[in-house]
Chains A and B, each alone.
Chain A
């Protein structure tokens, strides 16, 4: 295994924080050459983090102590969707008020582990809702996406045949049927149609 030279990765490696890295050598070079910035994302599903988050919090603390900038990234946007990992069933969707209350409570913990005083290595708390919201993607997911079963989508010919032939299918294309089905929900279509029901034609 590669032995890191930068303070940051050497500490992490010696103390047992590293499981895998996409490119340890080049990251080590970057950390030796100057200041790196790293973020860890945290869900806002509860009003407190728990001990399972502590290894990554300590990692951000060491990052700061070794001269780099940590970002605690709050999943204010992604929590509106809900992480399916490790769950057998869909999570209950949280309201925006509940998510922002949780975020405020979680900030207290980071204030103890990281120094937010500004400066080149000052920690930053960011919220992914700040950029995800402007994509207007999450309302689409929450309003329409929740009614689509991926299990069924995978069984549709358009998708199934590509998968069976092991041909690439991008996520862009995978969304085609969602947008197509959503057509039927928009009343503005009625202004342009001539008789009949507002139901999209198949095919």
Chain B
């Protein structure tokens, strides 16, 4: 309407340009998350949470979002956009870092990336942790926590595993396991496709479905 008004009322030459509505690969409107809107003002949404929003981009959206929301070269965006499996996580980190840098500055982006690294990576997936495979259908039925700790090699026996849990020394995906009978199920699998078990502060193992 504005272009037309400019022409009719003021003899101005105006041009109108519209942007596409950005949807995700799974078909939802981008930015509609369970936590609410993804705000750009740091008082509304901390830079770390902004970073995590981008870090959780769907695999198939990475290349397109790099082009729209960072200033990396097209060649770089295309190269990162085709990565899959474990490698795609590096591309998502680049996307998260670059997007956060534009919105909140380089310092805030570096801090967010470092916090994410400490939270999710120290001693976790990919860092050569002992990995134990369990059949997926067993995980679907549910495996008692104490049994899984024994199978992961973090306890010598079932009794040892029960004691570990009773003494609050057992954690599952970095959350304390409060009941030895807690069933570990498929939905405990993280974004990396594994469940992280910890006994004390230093001993960790990964459970992966087979």
A residues within 8 Å of B by Cβ? 12, 14-23, 26-27, 30, 38, 47-56, 58-59, 61, 105-106, 108-109, 112-113
Contacts and interface: CB of A to CB of B under 8 A. Distances in A.
Q: Which of B3, B43, B68 has the most CB of A within 10 A?
A: B68
Contact of B31 (A16, A51, A56): A51
A23 B43 CA distance: 40
A1 B44 CA distance: 41
Given A15-B67, A16-B68, A48 B15 contact: no
Nearest to A18: B17
Chain A, interface SS category: helix
B40 A53 contact: yes
Contacts of B17: 12, 18, 20-22, 27, 38, 59
B100 to A, nearest CB: 11
Contacts of B140: none
A58 B20 contact: no
B116 interface: no
A106 B18 CA distance: 22
B206 to A, nearest CB: 33
B52 to A, nearest CB: 13
B44 A112 contact: no
A27 B3 CA distance: 13
Given A16-B68, A22-B16, A106 B104 contact: no
Contacts of B20: 16-19, 55
Contacts of A21: 15-18
A55 B22 contact: yes
Interface in B119-174: none
Interface of B: 3, 13-22, 29-31, 37-41, 43-45, 53, 64, 67-69, 74, 102-105
A58 B69 contact: yes
B43 A105 contact: yes
Contacts of A17: 19-20, 68
Given A17-B20, A19-B21, 15 more contacts: A14-B74, A16-B64, A21-B17, A21-B18, A22-B16, A23-B15, A26-B15, A30-B13, A50-B40, A52-B29, A52-B31, A55-B22, A105-B41, A106-B41, A112-B104
A141 to B, nearest CB: 17
Nearest to A9: B17
A48 B64 contact: no
Q: Which of A19, A54, A58 has the most CB of B within 10 A?
A: A54
A113 B39 contact: no
Given A26-B15, A56-B19, A112-B102, A51 B44 contact: no
Contacts of A58: 68-69, 102
Contacts of B67: 14-16
Nearest to A31: B15
17 contacts: A17-B19, A18-B19, A21-B18, A22-B17, A27-B17, A48-B44, A48-B45, A49-B40, A51-B38, A51-B39, A52-B22, A52-B30, A54-B40, A56-B19, A58-B102, A113-B102, A113-B103
Nearest to B41: A48
A17 B104 CA distance: 22
